[in-house]
Amino acid sequence: DTAVSQTPKYLVTQMGNDKSIKCEQNLGHDTMYWYKQDSKKFLKIMFSYNNKELIINETVPNRFSPKSPDKAHLNLHINSLELGDSAVYFCASSLSSGYTFGSGTRLTVV
Amino acid sequence: KQEVTQIPAALSVPEGENLVLNCSFTDSAIYNLQWFRQDPGKGLTSLLLIQSSQREQTSGRLNASLDKSSGRSTLYIAASQPGDSATYLCAVRGTGGSYIPTFGRGTSLIVHP
């Protein structure tokens, strides 16, 4: 199926750990994104990559590091996890028009 | 900076009603506007995409209109059904710089039988 797929779907981890979330799209899109959705359901852009180049880096702590090995992948690595990092993280991709979102990764830091 | 507001924040209606969800934005220089649906615990599903040159788009019981000059879009849902219950999000994509869209906070819709 053509889609934006994220893994894992759920992630529970302790404070201080380092974790990664993977994202892949097979839609041929050239731009990929990471969004964070907080407990109040507000979607906030974190990063955007176009053709493997970082084009947007919002005010996100440098504990968050995106990595794009190729146009179809944008992974998110988080160091030294904190309680406040608990949220749902969405990957998305686009070409020239609309967005396609992944199903989200629910991260819980305990 | 673009700001997107969705009204109402929540809506509860009986099945069969025709609904209007509103999305307003402050900067009329937009590239496109997209309506999404989000079910609880799920990702976002695209419903309708309106380019800046278009006035409306239709898909089944859904119709979305765009009025750039007044900074508004409406999502019209005809003959609502319980399966329409979800959060509806509006995303506005600007013309400058990074084309990153700005999301509204959504309208949470419950359609009861």
Average pLDDT, 10 consecutive residues per value, chain B (113 residues): 92 96 94 93 91 95 96 97 97 77 93 95
Do A95 and A27 touch, CB atoms closer than 8 A?
A: yes
Handedness of CA B31, A4, A82, A67 (dihedral sign): negative
Tokens of A52: 């493997």
Looking at residue B98, its pLDDT comes to: 57
Q: What pLDDT was estimated at residue A24?
A: 96
pLDDT-above-70 percentage for chain A: 98
Length of chain B: 113
What is the reported pLDDT for A41? 79
Q: How far apart are CA A62 and CA A82, in angstroms?
A: 13
CB contact under 8 A, A41 and B106: yes
The answer, for A27 touching chain B at a CB cutoff of 8 Å, is no
Residues 40-99 of A with CB under 8 A from B: 40-43, 45, 48, 55-56, 90, 92, 97-99
**pLDDT above 60 (res A100):** yes
The whole-number pLDDT of residue B1 equals 81
pLDDT of residue A1 exceeding 70, the answer is no
- Give the tokens for residue A47: 């990063």
Distance of CA A43 to the CA centre of its chain: 12
A102 to chain B, minimum CA–CA distance in Å?
A: 6
Q: What is the mean pLDDT of chain A?
A: 91
Contact B34 A104 (CB under 8 A): no
Q: Does B87 touch chain A (CB under 8 A)?
A: yes
Q: Report the pLDDT value the prediction gives residue B40, as an integer from 0 to 100.
A: 86
Name the residue among A25, A23, A26, A27 with its Cα closest to residue A89.
A23
| Higher pLDDT, residue A17 or A41 | A17
